[in-house]
């Protein structure tokens, strides 16, 4: 009997469960909630230097795992993507996305796949983006005119970029649906609501990390978001009703907006391409959030770097003079030839990723990454600033060197296949709005740099510190003064 037992034990040795990743010892109750401040990324970097490619810490009762290595990123977003593709959504985010009915925060299921297919193929496909070009162009030209009429006055670059991007998005979503005066009124209200919602999505809520207290809504964030969402709903429902009346009428060639596209899909009999009113509103909000704050923030960081690196600024403007000409306006068809500008944007996103930890992931089952156990429902964060500044992968990683993206084609893609550089994420949850973001980043920045010379106000310096929230904004807004650069005043009309 004992011989048989020993033989059985030898054939089926006990398997040891891999340990949790290393990390600082958790503190009672609130754990590492003090991490949630403007020096958060420095603390993440300090721990990466101390514990290596993967570590853990606790936010209250929530176990958080931070990935600091490209090889481990690959395990999460490629090798085990189906396990790690769900989101860890906070209270404010769920309230702002109609309980995760959008693309960004929906669980990985058949509904998400259908919505993403609609979004990528029908809304942000090449044909749709091409058809909406005139809508983008109108708003960018308005921004250029606005700067021109205020020549000599300091321009709040982040505010200019955000206002322009939001106007572009609104025009693309429902351009032509309302009269100009009414559109301005709606736009002001919409802009105010969007700013408040985005800010709240970036604020930590104690109840997110102590679920037992969620019913108390201690900080009132959920109620506050829901209040703003009611205002958002009123705007959406109003423009949807106006747009429905137009569907049977004549559409202007080249002026087809995203809302018209989605309402037409809603009327299709093909169930695979159908979309509910709630999903339409969630998708519209996805477009707003993905196409405004992140894009405007990236443009502000790019201009801050260029004002500190005059040679790079000169290289861009020489390229624009050659490709576009000082007697012409920038058009989107110029973009493929603006290689140095593209390199500047990519280098900006390497040093200043708009969402530095990407959207948190949450495994649907306990898994193993890098030889460590990652429990089900833990929060998994990808530490982009550490990965994209790793000296083992990047030469002079802390320097602003756009040329690195001219000489190394492997690092020139946003596709998420090079795990040393994934500002838009990777895997099946890569940013669905990437085609629109690329166009808007290139077009607006090119237009502003081609139309004007830029300099700092006298006596001003650039503060490169950041404020951590839903996106990584500059702590101190960038002010810059413009001087006309084009040959004819009518090019600013």
Rounded CA gap, 128 and 261, in Å? Answer: 8
Contact 482/159 with Cβ under 8 angstroms?
no
The residue to which tokens 């990519």 are assigned: 346
Question: Kind of pairing, strands 372-374 and 379-382?
Answer: unpaired
Contact 67/372 with Cβ under 8 angstroms?
no
The closest alpha carbon to 470, from 232, 203, 221, belongs to 203
Rounded CA gap, 255 and 180, in Å? Answer: 15
The tokens for 478 are 């960038």
The residue to which tokens 């109750």 are assigned: 29
The tokens for 266 are 């809603």
Rounded CA gap, 206 and 195, in Å? Answer: 22
How many C-beta neighbours within 10 Å does residue 136 have? Answer: 24
104 to 119, 277, 470: CA distances (angstroms):
11, 17, 13
Rounded CA gap, 88 and 362, in Å? Answer: 5
Question: What is residue 457's DSSP assignment?
Answer: P
- What values do phi and psi take at 178, rounded to 5? -120, 160
- What angle, rounded to 10 degrees, do the helices at 434-451 and 310-323 form? 90
Rounded CA gap, 310 and 455, in Å? Answer: 10
412 is in an annotated binding site: no
Sign of CA dihedral 50, 55, 57, 59: positive
Rounded CA gap, 242 and 239, in Å? Answer: 5
Please, what is the Cα angle at 90 between 195 and 211, to 5 degrees? Answer: 140
The tokens for 222 are 């959920």
Question: What is residue 459's DSSP assignment?
Answer: T
- What values do phi and psi take at 105, rounded to 5? -125, 0
Contact 19/56 with Cβ under 8 angstroms?
no
**Binding-site annotation: residue ranges:** 431
**Binding-site annotation: residue ranges for heme:** 431
């Amino acid at each position: 009997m004992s011989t048989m037992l020993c033989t059985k034990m030898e054939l089926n040795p006990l398997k040891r469960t891999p340990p949790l990743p290393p990390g600082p010892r958790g503190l009672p109750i609130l754990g590492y909630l003090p991490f949630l401040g403007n020096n958060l990324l420095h603390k993440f970097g300090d721990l990466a230097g101390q514990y290596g490619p993967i570590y853990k810490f606790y936010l209250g009762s929530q176990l958080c795992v931070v990935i600091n290595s490209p090889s481990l990123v690959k395990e999460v977003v490629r090798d085990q993507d189906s396990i790690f593709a769900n989101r860890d959504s906070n209270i404010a985010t769920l309230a702002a996305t109609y309980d995760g009915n959008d693309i960004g925060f929906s669980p990985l299921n058949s509904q998400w796949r259908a919505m993403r297919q609609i979004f990528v193929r029908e809304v942000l496909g090449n044909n749709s983006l091409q058809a909406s070009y005139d809508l983008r162009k109108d708003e960018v030209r308005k921004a250029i005119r606005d700067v021109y009429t205020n020549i000599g006055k300091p321009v709040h670059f982040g505010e200019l970029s955000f206002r322009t991007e939001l106007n572009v998005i609104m025009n693309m979503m429902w351009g032509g649906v309302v009269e100009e005066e009414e559109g301005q009124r709606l736009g002001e209200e919409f802009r105010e609501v969007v700013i408040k919602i985005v800010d709240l999505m970036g604020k930590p809520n104690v109840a997110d990390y102590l679920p037992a207290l969620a019913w108390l809504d201690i900080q009132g964030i959920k109620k506050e978001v829901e209040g703003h969402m009611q205002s958002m709903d009123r705007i959406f429902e109003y423009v949807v009703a106006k747009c429905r009346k137009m569907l049977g009428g004549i559409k202007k060639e080249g002026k087809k907006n995203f809302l018209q596209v989605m309402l037409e899909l809603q009327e299709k009999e093909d169930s695979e391409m159908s979309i509910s009113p709630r999903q339409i509103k969630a998708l519209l909000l996805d477009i707003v959030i993905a196409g405004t704050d992140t894009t405007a923030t990236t443009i502000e960081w790019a201009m801050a770097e260029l004002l500190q690196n005059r040679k790079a600024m000169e290289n861009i403007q020489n390229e624009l003079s050659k490709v576009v000409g000082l007697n012409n306006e920038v058009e989107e068809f110029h973009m493929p030839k603006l290689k140095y500008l593209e390199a500047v944007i990519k280098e900006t996103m390497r040093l200043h990723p708009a969402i530095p930890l990407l959207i948190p992931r949450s495994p649907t089952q306990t898994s193993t990454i890098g030889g460590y156990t990652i429990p089900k429902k833990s929060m998994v964060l990808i530490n982009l600033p550490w990965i994209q500044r790793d000296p083992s992968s990047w030469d002079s990683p802390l320097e602003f060197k756009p040329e690195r993206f001219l000489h190394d084609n492997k690092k020139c893609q946003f596709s998420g296949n090079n795990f040393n550089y994934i500002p838009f994420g990777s895997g099946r949850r890569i940013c669905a709005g990437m085609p629109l973001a690329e166009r808007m980043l290139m077009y607006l920045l090119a237009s502003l740099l081609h139309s004007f010379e830029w300099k700092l106000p006298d006596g001003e310096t650039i503060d490169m510190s950041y404020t951590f929230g839903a996106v990584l904004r500059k702590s101190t807004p960038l002010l810059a003064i413009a001087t006309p650069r084009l040959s004819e005043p009518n090019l600013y009309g």
